[in-house]
């Protein structure tokens, strides 16, 4: 027998459920902030390369432990959290997290801009990308088993697998054995601004930092040059474009 609608029992259950949901999201928020602060301060104290190595060690230890704790909390056997879910559900969850990641980037920019102005927000944004892009590239290389001297093939694999690779539309062009042009043909950020009647966000400085750091992490021989990126004028066919060149080993 179930409790009637709006009964004290149902009301109490709804309140408890809402409070549990708030606690869960608040815990995720604090976990993400604390993990990021560890990474940021390690970059400050030890430098980016040492911080990336430390993150690899810490992350490889932490995330299996996190999965095991969630499984126990849900009363599942080890590995059941992944084995019992439909692939489509896991893929959908991953895409939801990616879009949330992009939203987090946007709201942080807006919060800093409101507090200290556009110049300050761009400085923070560029520094974040200088640190995140190498981390993202390093993680993709580890997951895909890519070598440190993978050249253009490794670069293509990383660009396709990164967060933006799963969120935006893009293409490769002018490919040779030692060079590649990467074009963003539909950027969610710029498309959203156009819908609101706003001009393109001038992301060239952040993009230059982002793609240069990503390229070096994929293969130290890779260099990146901007073909065009807002505030530069660009054709309708793409929003930004970047040329990657592989230097000789000699």
Same domain, 133 and 44: no
Q: How many domains does the chain have?
A: 2
Same domain, 58 and 138: no
Same domain, 74 and 142: no
Query: 61, 84, 107 — which closes off a domain?
Result: 84
pLDDT of residue 250 exceeding 50, the answer is no
Same domain, 140 and 223: yes
Structural domain harbouring 80:
8-84
The answer as to whether 35 is a domain residue is: yes
Distance between CA atoms of 243 and 69, rounded to whole angstroms? 44
Same domain, 150 and 209: yes
Same domain, 69 and 123: no
pLDDT of residue 50 exceeding 70, the answer is yes
Same domain, 233 and 141: yes
The answer as to whether 92 is a domain residue is: no
Same domain, 68 and 162: no
The answer as to whether 109 is a domain residue is: no
Average pLDDT, the chain: 87
pLDDT digits (tens, 9 = 90+) for 94-147: 888 899 998 998 899 889 999 999 999 999 999 999 889 999 999 999 999 999
The answer as to whether 13 is a domain residue is: yes
Give strand pairing partners of 179: 245
Same domain, 246 and 124: yes
95, 160 Cβ separation under 8 angstroms: no
Distance between CA atoms of 110 and 37, rounded to whole angstroms? 20
The answer as to whether 226 is a domain residue is: yes
The answer as to whether 53 is a domain residue is: yes
Same domain, 136 and 44: no
The answer as to whether 195 is a domain residue is: yes
The answer as to whether 97 is a domain residue is: no
> What is the pLDDT, as a whole number, of residue 178?
94
Write out the two tokens for 31: 């976990």
CATH number for the domain that contains residue 237: 3.30.1380
pTM exceeding 0.85: no
Query: 66, 84, 102 — which closes off a domain?
Result: 84
pLDDT digits (tens, 9 = 90+) for 137-187: 999 999 999 999 999 999 999 999 999 999 999 999 999 999 999 999 999
Same domain, 152 and 235: yes
Same domain, 144 and 209: yes
Backbone angles phi and psi of 186, in degrees to 5? -150, 105
Closest CA to 217 of 46, 22, 49, 89: 49
């Amino acid at each position: 027998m179930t409790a009637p609608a709006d009964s004290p029992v149902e009301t109490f259950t709804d309140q408890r459920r809402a409070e549990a949901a708030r606690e869960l999201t608040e815990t995720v928020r604090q976990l993400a902030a604390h993990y990021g602060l560890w990474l940021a301060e390690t970059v400050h104290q030890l430098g980016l390369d040492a911080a990336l190595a430390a993150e690899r060690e810490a992350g490889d230890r932490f995330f299996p432990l996190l999965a095991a704790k969630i499984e126990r909390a849900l009363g599942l056997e080890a590995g059941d959290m992944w084995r019992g879910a439909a692939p489509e559900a896991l893929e959908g969850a991953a895409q939801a997290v990616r879009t949330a990641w992009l939203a987090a980037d946007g709201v942080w920019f807006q919060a800093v801009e409101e507090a200290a102005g556009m110049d300050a927000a761009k400085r923070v944004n560029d520094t974040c990308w200088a640190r995140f892009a190498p981390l993202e590239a390093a993680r993709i290389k580890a997951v895909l088993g890519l070598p440190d001297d993978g050249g253009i093939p490794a670069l293509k694999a990383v660009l396709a697998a990164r967060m933006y690779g799963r969120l935006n539309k893009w293409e490769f062009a002018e490919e040779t054995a030692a060079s590649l042009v990467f074009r963003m043909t539909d950027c969610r950020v710029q498309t959203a601004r156009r819908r609101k009647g706003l001009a393109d966000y001038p992301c060239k400085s952040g993009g230059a930092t982002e793609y240069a750091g990503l390229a070096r992490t994929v293969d130290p021989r890779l260099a990146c040059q901007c073909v065009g990126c807002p505030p530069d004028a660009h054709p309708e066919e793409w929003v930004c474009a970047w040329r990657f060149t592989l230097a000789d080993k000699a």
